[in-house]
Structures are given as structure tokens and as C-alpha cells.
Amino acid sequence: MRILLTGRNGQVGWELERALPALGEVVATDRKDLNLESAEAISKVIRKVKPKVVVNAAAYTGVDRAESDYDLAMRVNGIAPGVLADEAKRLGALLVHYSTDYIFGGETTSSYVETDTANPVNAYGLTKLEGEKRIAGSGCRYLTLRTSWVYAPRGRNFFLAMAKKIQAGDDVHVVNDQRGVPSEARFVAEMTLALLQNAAEGTFHVVPGGSTTWHGFATEIAKHLAPEKIIRPIASDEYPTPARRPRNSVLNSAKLAHRLGMLPADWRLLVARCFTQWIRASGGARPPERS
């Protein structure tokens, strides 16, 4: 089976390029190979590769930048998935696409299930929701996987930013009134593989077990570097950003667990795994602990 992967250099894409060969031949592309801003480029590559599965791990991920760069974000997150879906339908291929917890508005205190009504509060969420709608409306076979707060031991993400601040001994202040589920990129790739092996289609929430705040996430990271480090909690109002964030964007992964017959690992265990990978990538030496 031939699989076309977009976004090979992204956090999830990097992991997928290593996980998907278990299913067949992987043709992995980055932006220079396949520019999602161009519908013509998308069609040209898919018609050349003729994949049985298209895995779209590429996205415009700048949540704050999307507020002022909406047109580009919409082309990549909203319009391009629709083109991918049309081409997948023409080939009879399955389209795997990644979406976000930020399609929800955070009005509820409970976790969101797949059928809950979307109500984005920022431009990024609006563009990702548009991508979902275009895929569902295309009539193609699809697997849309919503995840949240993605991190990895490489790239640019909250995990690395916090680890480096803590390691440097900087004062760290993190918001404590936004709740979600930190999701390790490797976990997302593993669940993608498992769902494909299970012939799943439709929409699934792909997040680990449990939930926390950004402050809780930072505190968990600190435990692996400097357990005595105090992470100062602050309110969102004390850390204004161009894009609003939902106060609660916890995704419910019960449908995923039922389909795979297993409970997802707790998010804390995956932070520990990511930390171990980061240390190995740094040469195997544990960074010095600082308060």
C-alpha cells in the first residue's frame, strides 16, 4: 500500500514518517515538495503518487499569527484539506487529517465528545473547522483526528520552551485557567497507526488520559528537571495574547478507547517518555538541575 504523507518535518509528521512504514510504502513530503497553498500543486502530486492513503500532517499552526494572517491560515487549514479530499475521492483513497481542540469554545466544564457543537473563539480554530467541514462534505473516505497541546522533543513547542527556561533557572509564570490535554506527537502517530490498522473512519479525539492546565503541564515538566522549581500560576488576563484561547478544551477520548479496546496512556507518562527522548537527543547526559 502506498501512503502519501504531508508535513514530514512537523512534530507529528516526523513521528508518522517512522510509524507508517508498518503499513506500506511511505512517500513523505515537506513544503518544498508539496505546497498546500496551491490547489494545483496538491492535485499534481496526488495524481502522480496515486496513494491508497493520504495522511495530511501539514498545517498552519501559528495560533496567534492566524489572527493577522487569516487568509494564509485559511488556505492551508481550510481550503487545502478540501482539495486533498476531492483528490482522495477521485482515487478512492482514505484521507487522514488532523484537527484541533480549538474548534471548541470552552463554554462547558465537561470534556468534549466528537459530536459536540463546534464554536471556535479564534481565527486558527475557524480555519481548522473549515477544513473539517470541507472534508466531510466532499464525500471521500476520511479519518479526522482531533488532538490538543501537541509537543515533542524537537521543533518549537511548549514542552521545549518550558524545559529550556527551567534548565536556565529563569522565573517561570504560566496561566492556570485554561484546561486541556497535553498530547505527545509520538502518541498521536501511534494512535494513527492503530486506527488505520483497525480500518477506522470518521472523527476521533486522539488525546492521552487525564487533563491539566498549562501551569500543571509546566509543573510536570519541572519535576523531571528541577523538582524544587516553583512555577508561578497566573490568570490569562495577566498574559494577553492576540488570539483568545478556550478556558476548557479537554477532549474526551472514550470513542478512541472503545475502538481500539484500550485506554490511552495518562498524559504524565507520556511527558516522562518525551523527556527521556529529549535527553537522549541531547547526547545522553541529564541537564543540571536548578532552582
CATH of the domain spanning 2-155+181-210+245-266: 3.40.50.720
SS (H, E, C) 150-216: EECCCCCCHHHHHHHHHHHCCCCEEECCCEECCEEHHHHHHHHHHHHHCCCCEEEECCCECCEEHHH
> Cα(97)–Cα(79) distance, rounded to whole angstroms?
13
Residue with cell 470513542: 255
Task: Give the residue ranges of the chain where pLDDT is below 70.
Answer: 283-291
Contacts of 275 (CB under 8 A, 6+ apart): 153, 163, 221, 224, 225
What would the grid cell of residue 230 be? 516553583
Domain spans of the chain, in order of start? 2-155+181-210+245-266
> Cell 496561566 appears where?
175
* CA atoms of 20 and 162, how far apart (whole Å): 30
Residue 133's region, left for phi above 0, alpha for psi from -120 to 50, else beta, is alpha
pLDDT tens track for 160-197: 999 999 999 999 999 999 999 999 999 999 999 999 99
How confident is the model over 4-40, as pLDDT tens digits? 999 999 999 999 999 999 999 999 999 999 999 999 9
CA dihedral over 11, 12, 15, 17, signed as positive or negative = negative
Of 114, 176, 178, 182, the closest CA to residue 145 belongs to: 114
For residue 106, what pLDDT is reported?
Answer: 95
Q: What's the CA gap between 170 and 174, in Å, rounded?
A: 13
C-alpha cell at 240: 494577553
Contacts of 262 (CB under 8 A, 6+ apart): none
How far apart are alpha carbons 203 and 194 in whole angstroms? 14
| Residues catalogued as catalytic | 124
Cβ contacts of 94 within 8 Å, gap of 6 or more:
52, 53, 54, 88, 140, 141, 142, 143, 196, 201
pLDDT of the residue at 286? 52
Residue with cell 509528521: 13
